[in-house]
Amino acid sequence: MKRREMTLNRQHVLENNKNHLVKGRTLAVLIFLTALLLLPMTALAELERYVLDFGDRHIGGRRGQPATLMLKRALKQQYPWINTRNLTLRNVILVAKSRVGRGHAQLRVGRRVSDYYRVAGHPRAFKKNHRKTYDRVRLYSPTYNSRGPWQINLSGNFKVRKIVLIAENHNRRYYDW
């Protein structure tokens, strides 16, 4: 009789342990799912592209000084509803050509400055407006902090067709549920 009671008692203890484990797992899964759903959605910011049209504008520096394109100002002019404080600039695609092929572009974000990037071009193709005559140069942001001015310094004689800004918008309020 004692053996049977001990066996039943053991079975009862094992069933209780299994129930506690199942309840513990269920609780852990519920806590995990709740935490996952309540994470701030700003951490899931997506990269957005803003195309700034310069319409084949001829830009050149004076007396050896580089010409400066103010990117935040151009962004506010072409996209007046955008709040630039919510944007973090990642990189810039410059669609331009230099007259002799020796032009250089440099991205400035805040106080940081990127390396110089060479912009191709040819004297005979400089007056043509065909899209194949333009070089596409990707300028990477020198910092993750996008406070301060966003500028491109152009050393040389250029025609700029457009500039594509690739930035994270931390103010997007949509969800993919």
Tell me what pLDDT residue 177 has. Answer: 44
Q: At residue 137, what is the residue type? A: V
Question: Which regions of the chain are under pLDDT 50?
Answer: 41-42, 175-177
Torsion, Cα of 171, 174, 176, 177 (10° steps):
130
Q: Report domain 45-169's class.
A: mainly beta
Contact (CB, 8 A) for 88 and 167: yes
Tell me what pLDDT residue 15 has. Answer: 63
Tell me what pLDDT residue 175 has. Answer: 47
Q: Give pTM, 2 decimals.
A: 0.70
